[in-house]
Amino acid sequence: MPIDINLVLHRKHRVVKNAGYTTANPALETAGRLYVIRNDLTSRQVYVGTAADVQGRFGPRVATLREWGFNNATLGAIKIYVYRVLINGVARQPNNLGLAGGVDVEHLLIRLHLNQNVNVRNIAKIAAFNNTSGQVMNLTLSSSPALNVPGYLGGVVIHQAIANHAAY
C-alpha cells in the first residue's frame, strides 16, 4: 500500500513593520508545520524548515529584523509560506526534526525545491532522499484553494511517485 504525502500550502505571511515592531502578518500559528522562507533579494532565495511551534520559532527571529533596522522595502521581499502535512489523508504535525508520521517531510520539501531548480539556503538534507519505507511514496505539493501564490511552487500542483529503495 503506498504512502500518500500531501504538503498543502496553508498560509502565506508577510514580514511587516507596525508601530516600530516587526511582525508576521497574519500572525504565525503555534502548531507544528513545515515552512519556507523566501527572500527574493538573495541568490539562494529559499530556506526550508520545520517547527513543532512555528510562532515560537519565529518570534525571536522576526524581532531580530527590527533590531537590525531592516527597512520596509527589504522586509517586503521576505515571505513565509506555511505548509500542513497530510500522511495518508491524516493531518500530521512535523516535529523539530522534520518528521511527520515517520516520514522526513522536511527533507522531501527541500528536495522538491532543488528538483524544481530553486536555490535553497539549507546545507543539511540536500542530498538525495532515499525511500527505504518498503512502499511507494506519492508526494503531492498543493495549495489551499483560497491562496493565490503565482510564481511560487505553491501555485502549482506537483505529483511525484518515489519507488521503494529509489532516490529523489
Q: Is 27 exposed, middle or buried, given 0-12, 13-18 or 19+ CB atoms closer than 10 A?
A: exposed
Residue 167 lies in a domain: no
Dihedral over Cα of 43, 150, 146, 113: its sign: negative
Q: Which of 15-29, 118-132, 141-155 has the lowest mean pLDDT?
A: 141-155
Reported in sequence order, the residue ranges of the chain that DSSP labels E, i.e. its strands, are 3-18, 21-25, 33-39, 46-51, 78-87, 90-91, 99-100, 103-104, 137-143, 158-162
Number of structural domains (the chain) is 1
What CATH number did the domain enclosing 106 receive?
Answer: 3.40.1440
pLDDT score recorded for residue 49: 92
- Tell me what the pLDDT averaged over the chain comes to: 84
pLDDT tens by residue, 32-58: 899 998 888 888 889 999 998 888 887
Judge whether residue 129 has pLDDT over 70: yes
The torsion region of residue 152 among left (phi > 0), alpha (psi -120 to 50) and beta comes to: beta
The highest-confidence range among 67-71, 107-111, 116-120, by mean pLDDT, is 107-111
pLDDT tens by residue, 71-108: 777 888 888 889 999 999 999 999 999 999 999 999 99
Q: How far apart are CA 119 and CA 113, in angstroms?
A: 7
Q: For residue 165, what is the enclosing H or E element?
A: none
Q: How far apart are CA 66 and CA 20, in angstroms?
A: 8
Q: How many residues does the chain have?
A: 168
Residue 31: what residue type?
Answer: A
Residue 155 lies in a domain: yes
Q: How far apart are CA 130 and CA 44, in angstroms?
A: 24
Residue 149 lies in a domain: yes
- DSSP letter at 71? -
The C-alpha cell at 6 is 500531501
**What pTM, to 2 d.p., does this model score?**
0.87
Residue reference for cell 489523508: 89
Residue 154 lies in a domain: yes
The C-alpha cell at 110 is 527541500
The domain in which residue 58 lies consists of 3-162
Residue 168 lies in a domain: no
